[in-house]
Every structure is written in structure tokens, then in C-alpha cells.
Amino acid sequence: MSSDSERHELITRREAILRVSAMLGGVALVGQSALLAGCAAGPASEKRPASSNALFRQSDIVLLDEIAETILPETSTPGAKAAGVGPFIAMMVTDSYHENDQQIFRDGLHSLQDQCLRSYGAHFQIVTAAQRLALVQDLDAEQHFYMESSEEGAPAHYFRMMKELTLLGYFTSEIGCKQALRYTETPGRFDPCAPLVPGEKSWARHA
């Protein structure tokens, strides 16, 4: 059984979602109300439901891993694939998204693959890194235009969901928190004005 100090070092899924939402500039994650619904106050590791992955085949999860890696590639720190973001995205969509958002996401995943085939004559998993990046950049521009021009209450663009879940999965993972960001175990001293030298990594939000 975990000690009380070990429990305090963990954050809940609710806290993780809200913190990554803040990373996105305060824009709420698509389906955030659904993600937060039922999130208990206990540690995320104790409360996270096991994913059935009923909506995704293994090939879909491999594709999600490659998309996430294109969004957050390996540099001096491990990328999204090393952090297991693909399976995380599949779990979150399967277990936490409403049915209409699930359908948009799945249709979008197939649309991305079809667009890659039309543009480059091959699946996303086997085209070059430059081709993957070009496709992702086009989709990002498309989702920005859609989100800015669509009416209030319109469904989200599928690539918006993919970006948000990639960031959520990565920056709430151990790799994202301890290697991409600077990390200090809590509890610790509250210092609201810690200096940040240009070029240094930002602090993990719960540090």
C-alpha cells in the first residue's frame, strides 16, 4: 500500500487535464466536461479505467503513435511515441469522449490516412518524416481556420482533438514531466517567482 507521502506526490486526472488545458493557452480541451465528469479526488493511477480499445484496431493505435510523434518528435528528449501517447489517445477517446466526438475522431483518422495516400501514394506510417510534417502542418492550418470560422457549438475539428490529446498524453506522462520539463517532487516550497533563464526548460506545473 502507498504511504501518505507517496499519495501526495500524485496528481489526479482532473488536475492533469486542467493543467494541460492551461498549457494550450486557457482553451478548454474538446470534450473536457466529459473528461472531468466522474474524476474522483484520488490519485490518477488508482482511478484511471482500463481501456477496452473497442473503437480502435492495433493498426489505428500505431497510426496514432506516428501522428503524435510528428507533433512532438524526439529531440534531445524522448518524443510522444516513447511516452506511449498513441495508446493513451485511444484509451481517452474510447473511455471518455461522447459518441459524436468519437465518430468525428475515428472518421478524421481515416480521412488523414486517405489524404496521405492521395498526396504521397503511401500510408502515413511509411512516408518520409518531411511528408508527415507537411501533411500535419496542412491539417493544423485547416483546423485553425475551421475552429475560428465555425459557429458556436459546432463540433470540433478532428485534428484539434488529436493535438490536444497528444499534448495531454505527453505532458502528463513521466517522460514529459521529468525530461521535457523540469520536475521537483511535491510537497515542496511554494515559490511563485522562480527565475527562468532564456533557453531553459519551463517547470512542470505541479513542481
Quick check: is 81 in a domain? yes
Quick check: is 89 in a domain? yes
CA 39, 42, 45, 49: dihedral to nearest 10 degrees? Answer: -40
Q: According to the model, what pLDDT value does residue 125 have? A: 94
Strand pairing partners for 182? Answer: 203
Q: According to the model, what pLDDT value does residue 90 have? A: 95
Residue with cell 475539428: 157
Calpha distance 104→117 (Å, rounded) = 20
At 174, is the secondary structure helix, strand, or coil? helix
Q: According to the model, what pLDDT value does residue 189 have? A: 64
Quick check: is 153 in a domain? yes
Calpha distance 6→45 (Å, rounded) = 12
Quick check: is 134 in a domain? yes
CA 178, 18, 168, 36: dihedral to nearest 10 degrees? Answer: 130
> pTM value?
0.68
Quick check: is 7 in a domain? no
Range of the domain at 173: 51-180
Q: According to the model, what pLDDT value does residue 70 have? A: 95
- Side-chain half-sphere exposure of 180, counting CA atoms within 13 A: 20
Q: How many residues does the chain have?
A: 207
Q: According to the model, what pLDDT value does residue 41 have? A: 38
Strand pairing partners for 35? Answer: none
Q: According to the model, what pLDDT value does residue 92 have? A: 93
Tens-digit pLDDT profile for the chain (207 aa)? Answer: 444 433 334 444 445 445 555 544 444 455 444 444 434 433 333 333 344 467 899 999 999 999 999 999 998 889 999 999 999 999 999 998 999 999 999 999 999 999 999 999 999 999 999 999 999 999 999 999 999 999 988 999 999 999 999 999 998 888 888 887 777 666 566 666 777 788 877 766 654
Cell of residue 192, nine digits: 511563485
Q: According to the model, what pLDDT value does residue 6 have? A: 39
Count how many domains the chain has. 1
How confident is the model over 110-156, as pLDDT tens digits? 999 999 999 999 999 999 999 999 999 999 999 999 999 999 889 99
Quick check: is 90 in a domain? yes
Residue with cell 518520409: 128
Is the Cβ–Cβ distance between 79 and 69 less than 8 Å?
yes
Q: According to the model, what pLDDT value does residue 179 have? A: 81
Quick check: is 21 in a domain? no
Quick check: is 173 in a domain? yes
Cell of residue 19, nine digits: 493543467
